[in-house]
Amino acid sequence: MSEILSQSEIDDLFKALTSGEIDVEEIKEDRKKQIIKPYDFTRPSKFSKEQLRTLEIICENYARLISTYLSGYLRNLVPVEVINAEAITYSEFTNSLSNPVILSIIDFSPLSGSVILELSPNMGYAIIDRVLGGSGSSMSRIREFTEIERIILEKMFAQFANLLIEPWENVVELSPMLEKIETNSQVAQIISPNEMVALITFNIKLGNVEGMLNLCIPHIVIEPIMDKLNTRFWFAQNERVHNHEYEKNIEHMIQYTKMPIKAVLGKTHITVKEFLELQTQDIISLDKDIESDIDLYVGQLLKFKGQVGTYKNKSAVKITEVIKREDD
């Protein structure tokens, strides 16, 4: 909505128009210039800034899960962080790849299609070196991966696929599965080269070795859930899940909280002199007879009425009434 002008500002505006200080035609031209924006039909903008920001938030959670998994798997601290999220064509993504490359194609069920996780070769060699007992150093010479090395990578990427479930649970319930590992970038043509993809780039650090992990998500794959990729929806879903889990945890802890319960047989008043002169076999008269219900307190709150008796040769109280209060 436009800013509301005061009466004095309106008067000044009319004076400027009548005196010729402001040119109406010039204002119209300026407005036309502001309205007209260039559009590249070869690169249609299918991802809004809001949707890219939401994908970045989802992937920040994914980065933490990958960091936790790799740190335990490699027995070394492996920081992982999101450094960029952008929308590009699939051909731009594939043209930036070199051979050999580590591409994992992951089925994004129940959504139709696949996504790609691409790990830089230097980081792949460092991880393999660490798994096989080395210090986690990269190789100076790039070569093809052996069959054993491919098996190690497949095991790791299968876990990466499973870790996708939790970050996406507020948007869609995924059942991702690793389809295959490719080391030739020309083979991984899962969509048309002109299709738009969201490319989320992670930075991984293992010792002195730093590398990139790219998550390539085609627009055609997540198109059915694009309306859910906004921060308002994501945070609302996230808050509901966390509130529900928080309530369940609180309820569970309360159920096992120990509370003091005391049964009061009755009350009376005696003087300090009478108290000091009490002897064995003396009788103190209470304000209740033997047939009356006694009071049971939970903490300092009167909660039950009951009858004194025995159960399995132990003193016991049978609850006969629950005291309900408006403030309970």
171 and 58 in contact (C-beta within 8 Å)?
Answer: yes
pLDDT of residue 294: 86
* Residue of higher predicted confidence among 175 and 8: 175
Question: Is residue 41 scored above 60 in pLDDT?
Answer: no
276-311 residue pLDDT tens:
888 888 888 888 887 888 888 888 888 888 888 888
Cis peptide before 100 (omega within 30 of 0): yes
Residue of higher predicted confidence among 177 and 171: 177
Q: Where are the beta strands (DSSP E) in 149-230?
A: 177-182, 196-206, 209-218
pLDDT digits (tens, 9 = 90+) for 214-250: 999 999 998 888 888 776 655 555 555 555 666 777 7
Which stretch of 32-41, 57-66, 264-273 has the lowest confidence by average pLDDT?
Answer: 32-41
Residue 255 has pLDDT above 60, yes or no: yes
- Model pLDDT, residue 2: 44
**Looking at per-residue confidence, does 13 or 269 come out higher?**
269
pLDDT range class, residue 33, cuts 50, 70, 90: low
Q: Which of 232, 242, 236, 237 is nearest to 53 (CA)?
A: 232
Give percent above pLDDT 70 in the chain: 81
> How much is the average pLDDT of 95-116?
88
Model confidence at 138, pLDDT cuts 50, 70, 90, reads confident
Lowest-pLDDT range of 63-72, 164-173, 197-206: 164-173
At residue 270, the 3 state secondary structure works out as: coil
Give the full edge-to-edge strand order of the sheet including 80-89: 80-89, 196-206, 209-218, 114-119, 102-107, 177-182
Question: Integer distance in angstroms from the first to the last C-alpha of the chain?
Answer: 49
Q: What's the rounded Cα separation, in Å, for the pair 63 and 69? A: 10
Task: Indicate whether 194 pLDDT > 90.
Answer: no
Task: Give the pLDDT of residue 27.
Answer: 61
Q: What is the pLDDT of residue 1?
A: 40
Lowest mean per-residue pLDDT among 36-40, 148-152, 228-232, 244-248: 36-40
The per-residue pLDDT for 8 is: 66
Residue 108: which residues within 8 A CB-CB, separation 6 or more? 114, 115, 174, 176, 221, 222
